[in-house]
Amino acid sequence: MLRKLAGPASLVATGLVVIVAAVVAFVVLRPQEGTRVTVYFHDAVGVYKGSDVRVLGVKVGTVNSVRAAGTKVRAVVTVDHGVDVPADAKAVAIAPSLVADRYVQLTPAYTGGPKLAAGATIPVERTATPVELDQIYDSIRKLSDQLGPNGVNKDGALSRVLGTGAENLQGNGQDIRTTTERMAQAAKTLSGSQKDLFATISNLSAFTSMLKTNDGQVRQAEQQLADVSGFLADDRRELDAALRTLAAALAKVKTFIHDNREQIRTNVAKLSKITQLLVDQRRSLAEALDVQPLNVTNVLNAYDPKTRTLMGRGDLNEMSPPLPAAGRAAPAAGAGKGAP
């Protein structure tokens, strides 16, 4: 009896184990949910449920739903688990071609910093959609109407402008090409020197700011310059005569130098020697110049205005010639002999 019951019980146990294993496998192997984000567009023509969500052209998610929300379009997208998106990312509806469905591109790619969290919203200010083909056709139609016979060209003005332009450009193709090439070279040069160009602009800005700050002084300088210009204008005859006289004097100087070139060269050589002598004796000259004020003061103090003479004291012994040593000793010896 027990053997008969053992068969159904083992089957039940085996079924329970299989169910538990299936549940565990489903839980473990089930793909993890991605990051769900809400995106608002001005319009989302060509974006549907199931459209791709991409980063740098690589699919990283799917559009879950697209619904109208007043004057905007609300799209809910899911980014795959493990794909990081910047917190300030932008969403752009991309049209690969005129007939293909569009996809939502998240930009820029994540390189670091805060991440876009689940439940976040990308507002309409950070989204963009391409211009519709119908809008392009409508813009072209409006432009043609405005330039057509019912618009600007109603009296043939546009036709005359085009005719005049064609006449002016006729035969100047090579010149126009050369001008375009040189403008391209100039643009390339400016591009390579953009730091210097920006530095120049910054310096000009600082200069103009300085002029603005010193507006009063600048106006005063302009007024003084105007006064000088007026003075020169009033005395232009005298100035012209002075310039003519100066020109004549310079001509005479030129002639004098030409005629006396050798003497001038000799005098310059001698002057060079004299200046070298002064340089060599500069210490003695400096000492003499230091003592000279004292000498002048002594002369002024010695002058007697009443007698109009220079008064002074001197040692007469310094003025008499010195006696020989033997002559001074002889009287001393005689005096010794005659003494009582």
Say what the pLDDT of residue 337 is.
44
As a whole number of angstroms, the distance between CA 46 and CA 101 comes to: 5
Q: Is 52:139 a contact under the CB 8 Å cutoff?
A: no
Question: What per-residue confidence (pLDDT) applies to 32?
Answer: 64
**Pairing, β 58-69 against β 72-79:** antiparallel
The series of mean pLDDT values per 10 residues for the chain, 340 residues long, is: 52 70 56 83 88 91 92 92 91 78 90 90 90 75 79 76 82 86 83 78 88 87 87 83 89 89 88 87 85 82 80 67 57 45
d(CA 230, CA 224): 10
CA distances from 290 to 214, 281, 308, 315 (A): 48, 14, 28, 27
Distance CA 334, CA 338 (A): 6
The per-residue pLDDT for 321 is 67
Pairwise CA distance, residues 266 & 117, whole Å: 97
List, for residues 18-51, the tens digit of each pLDDT value. Answer: 776 666 555 445 556 788 999 999 888 888 899 9
pLDDT digits 0-9 by tens, 184-193: 888 877 777 7
Phi, psi dihedrals of residue 68, rounded to the nearest 5°: -75, 140
Q: What angle do CA 259, 265, 271 make, to 5 degrees?
A: 135
Helices (H), the chain: 2-29, 133-147, 157-169, 173-192, 194-213, 215-234, 236-259, 261-280, 282-302, 316-319, 325-337
Q: Is 109 exposed, middle or buried (0-12, 13-18, 19+ CB in 10 A)?
A: middle
Tell me which residue of 102, 83, 82, 100 sits closest to 92, measured CA to CA: 102
Domain ranges across the chain:
35-133
pTM tops 0.75: no
